[in-house]
Amino acid sequence: MIMKYANLLDRFITYVKVNTRSDENSTTTPSTQSQVDFATNVLIPEMKRVGLQNVYYLPNGYAIGTLPANDPSFTRKIGFISHMDTADFNAENVNPQIVENYDGGVIALGESGFTLDPADFAHLNNYKGQTLITTDGTTLLGADDKSGIAEIMTAIEYLTAHPEIKHGEIRVGFGPDEEIGVGADQFDAEDFDVDFAYTVDGGPLGELQYETFSAAGAEITFKGRNVHPGTAKGQMINALQLAIDFHNKLPEGARPELTEGYEGFYHLMNIDGTVEEASASYIIRDFETESFEKRKDLMKSIADQMNAELGSERILLTLKDQYYNMKQVIEKDMTPITLAKEVMEDLGITPIIEPIRGGTDGSKISFMGIPTPNIFAGGENMHGRFEYVSLQTMERAVDTIIGIVTKK
């Protein structure tokens, strides 16, 4: 196997074998000790080895380093950010498979009985002849976002080894808890101190994203009144039925499985309870500020209406905004988008500029004063046993990072 960047594959394999799954029930940041250990025992020493200077670990869970400019004519300071944690799926004993020169057929995932089949995953057809890294069917892979970490680290290593390549100052940040949506809450934008940054956290080749959902979470408690069902008429108030009634008042078509593109939704994440008391958790997503606010207002009005009909406060709704569409910040100065687009085109990569039907750490960091769009890292089928990544796409991500910091 001929590799453009000698250490990229081994680096990636080393990273994914470390369990850094985050924990949404934790009250600490980072949410798991494994992320702390990964940052301090694996990433910090390697950041120093590849040539980053002023490397340090912050209490907020971020490992930070700097590659100083080697040409004073480059005046921009650019950052690259990826997250250490993996999603809510088995991440213990990750055992990657390497499939060289993929022939376009079905890939057996170890002895698990699961397969990667082009009949189920048509995008596999884009990778014929390439080297794929897959799972063994028992865990996720962790390309989201250890591919991004490996790509940033490899780009720094290459630039350090080739001082004839001129570039400006580069800041690197590897952070925790992106998958549970809290890692960037404590990001120190003043300390990071760049003109703009990129999260290297996207999917297939060419992705360049600066629009995300705006997001909110809704927690609802339904207060019932339990009496014997044989004498319940006119007396029982079934909290589970209240939850069903509330849900049925939301727009029928505004669910994730029925929406695409710029369409927003309400997503029922959990419902639980008894006749006496029930609870439901929703996430609310939309791209436009006005429609995002209308979605939250509708939930409030449904709760108010039901409480009025019941004659008491039995539906208790708590809404909390989570992040906002970073387009609101980035569209004021499209320099990072224009730069990345031009670099990709110079490299023969077709930029895919589409909205993210989700969020990235950049969604929050952009509103902290550092415009932070997202570029591809290569992963497909993220967050589960069918996850895989192309080594050639990872190499192109390294090319793109180097291109961004060397283009005036």
* Residue 114 vs residues 99, 137, 238, 240, 372: alpha-carbon distances, Å: 15, 6, 42, 37, 37
190 known ligand binder: no
123 known ligand binder: no
144 known ligand binder: yes
Contact 295, 302 (CB under 8 A): no
Q: SS3 breakdown of the chain: % helix, strand, coil, rounded to 5?
A: 35, 25, 45
Residues of the chain with CATH 3.40.630.10: 5-210+323-404
Q: Report the C-alpha gap between 264 and 170 in whole angstroms.
A: 36
CA angle 271, 272, 276 (to 5 degrees): 130
228 known ligand binder: no
Q: Report the C-alpha gap between 148 and 81 in whole angstroms.
A: 8
The single residue listed with the structure tokens 């949404």 is 24
Under 8 Å CB-to-CB from 120, ≥6 apart: which residues?
A: none
User: Residue-wise pLDDT tens for the chain (408 aa)?
Assistant: 667 898 999 999 999 999 999 999 999 999 999 999 999 999 999 999 999 999 999 999 999 999 999 999 999 999 999 999 999 999 999 999 999 999 999 999 999 999 999 999 999 999 999 999 999 999 999 999 999 999 999 999 999 999 999 999 999 999 999 999 899 999 999 999 999 999 999 999 999 999 999 999 999 999 999 999 999 999 999 999 999 999 999 999 999 999 999 999 999 999 999 999 999 999 999 999 999 999 999 999 999 999 999 999 999 999 999 999 999 999 999 999 999 999 999 999 999 999 989 888 999 999 999 999 999 999 999 999 999 999 999 999 999 999 999 998
**Pairing relation of β-strands 132-134 and 196-202?**
unpaired
Active site residues: 85, 178
Looking at the domain that runs over 5-210+323-404, which CATH code has it been given?
3.40.630.10
- The CATH architecture to which 212-321 belongs is 2-Layer Sandwich (3.30)
The reported pLDDT for the residue numbered 367 is: 96
201 known ligand binder: yes
Residues of the chain with CATH 3.30.70.360: 212-321
Strand ranges, E, within 104-252: 107-108, 115-116, 132-134, 169-175, 196-202, 208-209, 214-223
